Chain A
Amino acid sequence: MAIAVPREAGPRIERLERIWRERPGVMGWLTTTDHKRIAILYLFTSLAFFAAGGVEALLIRTQLIRPDNGLLTPSGFDQAMTMHGVTMIFLFVIPMSIGAFGNYLVPLMIGARDMAFPRLNAASYWIFLASGLFIYGGVAAGHAPTAGWFDYVPLASKQFSPDSGIDFYALGLIFNGISSTAAAINFIVTIFKLRAPGMSLNRMPLFCYAFLAVSFALVFALPALTCALLMLEADRLLGFQFFEVARGGDTILWQNLFWIFGHPEVYVIILPAFGIATSIIPTFVRRRMVAFPLVALAEILVAFIGFGVWAHHMFAVGLSQVTTIYFAAASLIIVIPSGIQLFAWITTIVTGTPRFKTPLLWIVGFIVLFIIGGLSGITFAAIPFDQQLTDTYYVVAHFHYVIFGAAVFPILGGLFYWFPKVTGRMYHERWGQASFWVTFAGMNLTFFPMHIVGLLGMPRRQYTYPPDMGWTGYNVIESIGAYVLAAGLLMVAVNLVVSCFRGARVGNDPWEGDTLEWSTSSPPPAYNYAVIPRVTSPYAMWDREDREADVENLAAGEKVLEQGHETPAVTAVDAEWDEILEMPSSSPWPPVLALAISGVFAMVILKQWIAAGVFLVAAFVVLGAWHGKEPQEA
C-alpha cells in the first residue's frame, strides 16, 4: 500500500529533492555517501569477484573431471583452490550480503535517510575494492597464495612457501578486514541510533536483527584473524618465531586464532541470508512470521554461540578430550537456534497463503538445502565421526550446501525480490523460475555426490586422484553439475540485466511487502522518505493507520526534516526521539583514504618500509582533513 503525496507537501518535497540531490556523473559516484549508491557499487564489484571465483571453481571441477588430469599443475590447482575460497568468502559473499543488501536496505527498513556514518560507509567500499585489487594484483603478477583459504602453518611459513603469494593473502586480508570492521561498526550504530522514532527493539524487522548479529560477530571475530595474520607476516618478513616449534612457537596457535575468526565468519556468511529469508517469507505467504521473538533471538544466538565452537575444525589435530568437549557441547546446541528458525519459516509458509513467485522459490530451495547442509554439519559435532571424515569431500559437501545453498540461494532470491524496488522494473517471472530450477538441479548434482565420495575416502584439496578408487563416476557427475550450475547463474544474470532495460515498470509496492522500503518510490529518492514513518510493529507496511498517519504528517510538515540533510537519532533500546542529525552529502576523502591505505600495503609487500611509513602518515593526514569538515559542512 503506497502513500499518496498530499498537495500541501509539494514545496517541502522540492526542498528535500534539492538538498539531497547527488552530484552528476563520475565525480558523483566517486564522492557519493548515499548508502543506496554505495550498495550498487558493492553489488557490481562483488558480482565481478563472484565471476572470478566461479571461473576458479570451474577450473577445479574441470581438472577433477577425470583421474590423472593434466589441465592444472599441482601448484596451479592449489592457486585455483585457494583463490576460489578467498574470493568467494572475502570478496563476494560478505560484500554482497553486507555491503550491497545491508547498505541498501537497513536504512530503508528502519525509516532512516542514511547510515550513521555515511563517509565511513563510502570508505568501506573503496577499501574493499582496493583490497580485492591488491590480492588479484598479486595473482596477476604471478604471486597467488597456494595454502588454501585457511593458510595453515607450517605450509604457509617462509620456509615452505617462499613465494610472496602468502604475503598478498595475509596483507590483503588485513586490508579487507579494515573495510568489514568499518562496515560492521556502521551497521550497529545505525541500527541502534537511527531507527524511526517508535521502532523500539521489539518492533524492529528481523532483517535488522540478522544484521545486528552479523555486525557484532564481525567486530569480535576479525581481530583474531588480524592477530594471526600479523603474527604470520612477522614470522615471514621479520623472522619472528610465533609458529616455529623448535624456538618455542606452536603451529596450533595459528589454527586456534584462525578458527576463532573462521567459525564466526561462517555465521557472518549465513546470517544475512537468514535475514533475507525472513523478509521474503512473510510477504509471499501474507502472514506474519511465527514466533517472532524466538526468530530474532535465534539470529543473535547463532552468532554468539558461534564464538564457542571454533575447535570443532580442529578435532583431528590432537587436542585433549577435556578441551574438545567444550566445543562438542556448544556445536551440538548451536543447531537449536537454526532449528528454531527453520521451524518458524516452515510453519509460516505452511500456515500462510503462499504465492510461489521466484523469490519464494529460492527461499524454499534454501530451506531444503540448509536442512541437508545442517544435517551433515551436526554429524561433525560427534568427534569420532569427525575424525574419520575430516579433510574428505564430505566436508566440502557440507560447507557448499550451507554456503551455496543457505547463503547464495537467499542472495539470489533477494536479488529478484528487491529488483523492482531498486530498478523500478519487474524481472521476467517465467525465466526467473526456470533459472531457479536449473540452479537448484546444478547445485545438487555438483555437491550431493561429494557426500558419497567423501565417505568413500576421497581427500579434499588434492589436484588429482587415481583411476581405480571408484571415485571417477561421482567426479564426472559433480563436474557436469558445476556446468549446469553455471548455466543457471547465467540465466539469472541475463534475466536481471535484460529486465533492467526492458522490464515492465512497477510502482512502490508490487509485492504488498511487509517492511518500510515498500512505502517509498521505486527506486527510492535520494532522501528515502519524504516524511519519517510512524512505526508501531515490525510489519510497518501492513499497519494501515500508521501509513495514513504518515500522509497526515507530510501534509502538516511534521517529521519532514527538510531544513538540511537531516535524519532523526533515537535512544538505543526504546527509540525515543533524541535529536536531529545532519548527514554529510558528498566527500572526496573516502576514496583518497583508500588510495593512501593501498599505498601502505603496496609498500609493505615491496619491503619499502620508509615509503610505507610515508603513506601511513598520509592516511592520517587524510583522516584529519576528513574530520575537519563536519557533516553539516560536507
Chain B
Amino acid sequence: MQADPFQIASDALAGAGGHVSELARPFLHFLPVSGASVSTFGPLLGAETISATDRLAGRVDELQFDLGEGPCWDALGSRLPVLQPDLTASSPSTWPAFTSAIRAENIGAVFAFPLVFGPLDIGAVDLYSIDPVTLTQEQQQQTLELSAIVSRILLRHALKDHALDNAEGSAEPTVFSRRLIHQATGMVLAQLGISAGDAHLILQARSFADGRPMRDVAQDVVERRIRFTDIDADSDSDIPTATDRRTDNRTDGEDSP
C-alpha cells in the first residue's frame, strides 16, 4: 500500500507535540500549494502568526492583519473555506487592498480555512500558490480535517500558557467545584456531540475568554444560563465555501449567553 500523503500530514501534526511553530508544514504534504501559515485571531486568542512555511506565507498573514481584510477574516467570520484559485483571472471585489498587495507579490491563488473548535473561533489556515491552482473536494475536506486538529492543538497550547484558575490545577480546588465541572462537561459534550476531553477544553476556553473561574462557568452551564450550540457547518461531500459571498461580519460568531 502506498503511503497516503494526507496520512503522513496527520501523523506529522500528531507528532508536532508542543511545537506549534511546526503546525503549517504538514499542509504542504498533500496540497498543491507553495506555502501555508497558521494564525490565531478573533476574540479568544490574540492576532498572531503561529507558524509559516516560508517568508511569503508569513507575508500573506501579515498583510491581512495590517489591512484588516482578506480571506482569513472571511473564513473565520463565515466558518467556511474561502477559495481564490486564480487571482490572475478574476479580482475578488471583497478585498481590494489585499488583492492588489498580493498581486504585487506575484501570488496566483489564495485559500483560507477557518480554525474553529466547537463554538469557539480560533483563527485560520492561509494557503497560497504562485501559480493558479484548484483544490479538489477531497483536498478541501482533508484540509478541514487537519484544521480541526490544529484548532485543538492551538487551544490546548494557549490554555496551558495561561494558568488561569481551572479548578483542577488551581491553588484551591474544591471537591464541590470539581463535581460541578464534571457535570458541566457532560452537558457540553451532549450539546456539541464531542468527547469529554474536548468539552472540558471548551469550558476552560470559556473561562479563559470571560476571565472567570471555571467553576463559575460550570455553574452557569449546569443551571442552564450558558449553552454551547454547534454552529459548525460540517458536511461530508459538498463543502460550502465563502467565496464571492459578501461577509460583512468581521466580528465572528462567538457565542454569548
Q: Do A and B come from one complex?
A: no
Give A contacts to B, CB under 8 Å. none
